[in-house]
Amino acid sequence: MSVRTVARKDLADAGRSKALWAVTLAVVLFTAGITGLAGVSTDQPVGEVFGLAFQVVVFALPVVALFLAKGALTGERESGSLRVLLSLPPSRGDILVGKLIGRTALMLVATLVGGVATGLVVVALLGGGLELLVPFMTFLGLMGMAFVAVGLGISAVSPTDGRATASAVTVYIVLVAMWDLIEAGIGAGAVELGLLEAGSRPAWLQLLGLLPPNQAAGAAYEAATAGGRALAADPFASVWLPTLVLLAWLVVPVAGGYLRFRKADIG
Amino acid sequence: MTNLAIETRGLTKRFGDVTAIDGLDLAVEAGEIFGFLGPNGAGKSTTINVLLDFVSPTTGTASMLGLDVQADRKELHRRIGVVPENYGLYERLSGRRHVELAIEFKGATDDPGALLDRVGLSPEEANRPAGEYSTGMGQRLSLAMALVGSPDLLILDEPTGGLDPNGARELRAIIEAENERGATVFFSSHVLEQVEAVADRVGIMDGGQLTAVDTIERLRRDSAGGARVTLSVDHEPERALGDLPNVRDIEVTDGTVRATCLEPEAKLAFIDRVQAVTTATDVRVEESSLEEMFASYTTEAQADEQAEPAATAGVEA
């Protein structure tokens, strides 16, 4: 009851802000625009076009999701409206979950609009390939939700909005911009220490590469579109392992954030 | 069941090295209007933050309406109404929507229009987004939210900030009406006149502790403030007036003799003594102000007392 009211309030409040429209526009531009651009600028088949677009979009969407979520609690903390909310019956847990639902809904609405726009662009430019739109939007949607959860976790542990912004930027750099480099560095370090043979890529290193939501979403999309390998024997070629990683991202950051937020002094 | 609306026992809150509340034992009786006074940094806000479960106490316990402020907070928060200090409103939501939210959260059945009208917000104002509100309007809206669900206990943290004199008067009327209905009212303020006008009892907080709890009249009487008695004399007394019980700071300047008298009888004794050595032509008595009374219960005054034991605490402020 409290959770639902918090979520509805958050949707109403955030929905009246220009942020939602900016987010939707950004998502539409990134999904439809980039797919369209890939479609007209290459002569590749539709499957390749989608794959290319996906690789680009996974860099852009996390920015949108993190921006949407990182101020969900710190903003209210700084304005003092959190004090009003906490004076009323909802608990900190109710507020956190309500915010998660509200912001996730905003992100999904934006993603859905982006998906429809992408579909139109693809049909108009390439005259087919709509069946690829389902995995395309599913895994982009899951990844968006995962980054909303990360952003909210950051918001829950940050005392100020400035700190939340700094953390969100750091998380983006580590998980999205530099993860390949980090993975390569760890691999090279393992070789150096004699833990690993040069050129080999054991399961733990592959799992490490799969950890960020954007990487997991990419792997899941690739596996799903490569054809019927949802239950592949090799987990790294499967849909289920990266999907599991994505689902974990929906839960872990928020749970971690709650542990801190539960005890935080709201002065 | 206890008949205390608010009770803390040995409540202590430390932020790092700073002790904001130091073993506080506070008891507010059900049905009273309690004024919570103290200078900035005295621990008032932290106490209210603990009561509202915004911060966790380091040690000690706190309960309201017989319910633990942490363990029973959900039930408790359905039964209290709060105007928190430094509260914020949702800029994009209307005033009316704010009240509707509070009604929904509390599972109450109030009519939002009636509550908004009661605090003096017109229907047009209520439909405007709260981001356009003045401080005073925000304060009124915040009060309307606090009144949702006819709470058993109202906690108002500095509720007069931003209100004009008219608004402050209306607030007083609402506080009295709520108390009449049966609600306990606990409000903090640094505006003494506001507190004096409505509070049955006041507590004065200083250095994280309660330094006094009583009615304003009793506190005023017990405070070292006393009354300043000034006598005009036709000639200065030739000999010292000597010590009198409860008379302090005797001062002789050209044509006048002054002293601070702590008890009514002391005033008469002082006048008699002066009359014995010279002739008084006029008398003027100034009762100590609320501010002086207040100061006598807080740190500055204590420091004065230590520096100059004979001086009457706070009177020379």
Q: What are phi and psi of B19, to 5 degrees?
A: -95, 110
Q: Into how many domains does chain A fold?
A: 1
> Residue A184: inside a domain, yes or no?
no
> Residue A187: inside a domain, yes or no?
no
> Residue A40: inside a domain, yes or no?
yes
Residue pairs between chains A and B whose CB atoms are closer than 8 Å: 80
Tokens matching residue B304: 């004065």
Percent of chain B with pLDDT over 70: 90
Greatest CA separation for chain A: 60
CATH placement of domain B4-220: 3.40.50.300
Read off the pLDDT of residues A135-188 as tens digits, 9 standing for 90 and up. 888 999 999 999 999 999 999 999 999 999 999 999 999 999 999 999 989 988
Residue with tokens 């939700």: A145
Distance separating alpha carbons of residues B12 and B207, to the nearest angstrom: 12
CA distance, residue A91 to nearest chain B CA (Å): 7
Q: Can you give A172-232 as a three-state secondary structure string?
A: HHHHHHCHHHHHHHHHHHHHHCCCCCCCCCCHHHHHHHHCCHHHHHHHHHHHHHCCCCCCC
Which residue in chain B is spatially nearest to A79 when comparing CA positions?
A: B88
Q: Does B44 touch chain A if contact means CB atoms closer than 8 Å?
A: no
> Residue A197: inside a domain, yes or no?
no
Segments forming the whole domain that contains residue A151: 2-177+211-260
Nearest to A265 among B55, B93, B145 (CB): B55
pLDDT computed for residue B140 by the predictor: 94
Residue type (1 letter), A107: M
> Residue A70: inside a domain, yes or no?
yes
Distance separating alpha carbons of residues B78 and B107, to the nearest angstrom: 8
Residue type (1 letter), A69: A
Choose between A12 and B138: higher pLDDT: B138
ipTM: 0.84
> Residue A193: inside a domain, yes or no?
no
Closest listed residue to residue B73, CA positions, set A80, B102, B65: B65
Query: By the 8 A CB rule, do A148 and A257 touch?
Result: no
Which residue in chain B is spatially nearest to A86 when comparing CA positions?
A: B54
Contact between chains at A86 and B52 (C-beta distance less than 8 A): yes
Percent of chain B with pLDDT over 90: 52
Distance separating alpha carbons of residues A159 and A69, to the nearest angstrom: 15
Query: Which neighbouring-strand residues pair with B133?
Result: none
**Cα-based angle B19, B20, B22 (whole degrees, multiple of 5):** 70
- Which range has the worst mean pLDDT, A43-52, A96-105, B302-311? B302-311
Query: Which neighbouring-strand residues pair with B188?
Result: B36, B157
Alpha helices in B19-134 (DSSP H): 44-51, 73-79, 95-106, 112-118, 123-127
Read off the pLDDT of residues A5-33 as tens digits, 9 standing for 90 and up. 899 888 888 777 776 677 778 877 877 88
Q: How confident is the model at residue B310 (pLDDT cuts 50, 70, 90)?
A: very low
Residue with tokens 């230590």: B306
Q: How confident is the model at residue B223 (pLDDT cuts 50, 70, 90)?
A: low
The CA radius of gyration of chain B, in Å to the nearest whole number, is: 24
> Residue A191: inside a domain, yes or no?
no
Residues of chain A with Cβ-Cβ distance to B90 below 8 Å are 9, 13, 81
Chain A contacts in chain B segment 136-195 (CB below 8 A): 142, 145-146
Average pLDDT over residues B210-215: 87
> Residue A233: inside a domain, yes or no?
yes
Contact between chains at B101 and A86 (C-beta distance less than 8 A): no
The CA radius of gyration of chain A, in Å to the nearest whole number, is: 20
Distance separating alpha carbons of residues B118 and B106, to the nearest angstrom: 19
Q: How confident is the model at residue B138 (pLDDT cuts 50, 70, 90)?
A: very high
CATH placement of domain B226-287: 3.30.70
Q: How confident is the model at residue B133 (pLDDT cuts 50, 70, 90)?
A: very high
Closest listed residue to residue B46, CA positions, set A157, A19, A267, A196: A267
Choose between A145 and B262: higher pLDDT: A145
Query: By the 8 A CB rule, do A71 and A23 touch?
Result: no
Choose between A146 and B225: higher pLDDT: A146
- Residue B60's H or E segment, with its range, is strand B59-64
Tokens matching residue B87: 């509260």
Which residue ranges make up each domain of chain B? 4-220, 226-287
Distance separating alpha carbons of residues A267 and A74, to the nearest angstrom: 13
Q: How confident is the model at residue A231 (pLDDT cuts 50, 70, 90)?
A: low
Query: By the 8 A CB rule, do B294 and B189 touch?
Result: no
Answer whether residue B300 shows pLDDT above 60. Answer: no
Query: Which neighbouring-strand residues pair with B227?
Result: B261, B287
Read off the pLDDT of residues B181-199 as tens digits, 9 standing for 90 and up. 999 999 998 777 778 788 9
pLDDT computed for residue B316 by the predictor: 33
Best of B104, B110, B141 to mutate (most A CBs within 10 Å, chain A) = B104
Q: Does B78 touch chain A if contact means CB atoms closer than 8 Å?
A: yes
Distance separating alpha carbons of residues B202 and B187, to the nearest angstrom: 9
Query: By the 8 A CB rule, do B277 and B239 touch?
Result: yes
Distance separating alpha carbons of residues A82 and A59, to the nearest angstrom: 32
CB environment B9-24: b (16+ within 10 A), e (fewer)? eebbbeeeeebbbbeb
Contact between chains at A83 and B55 (C-beta distance less than 8 A): no
What is the DSSP code (8-state) at residue B152? Answer: S
Query: By the 8 A CB rule, do B270 and B244 touch?
Result: yes
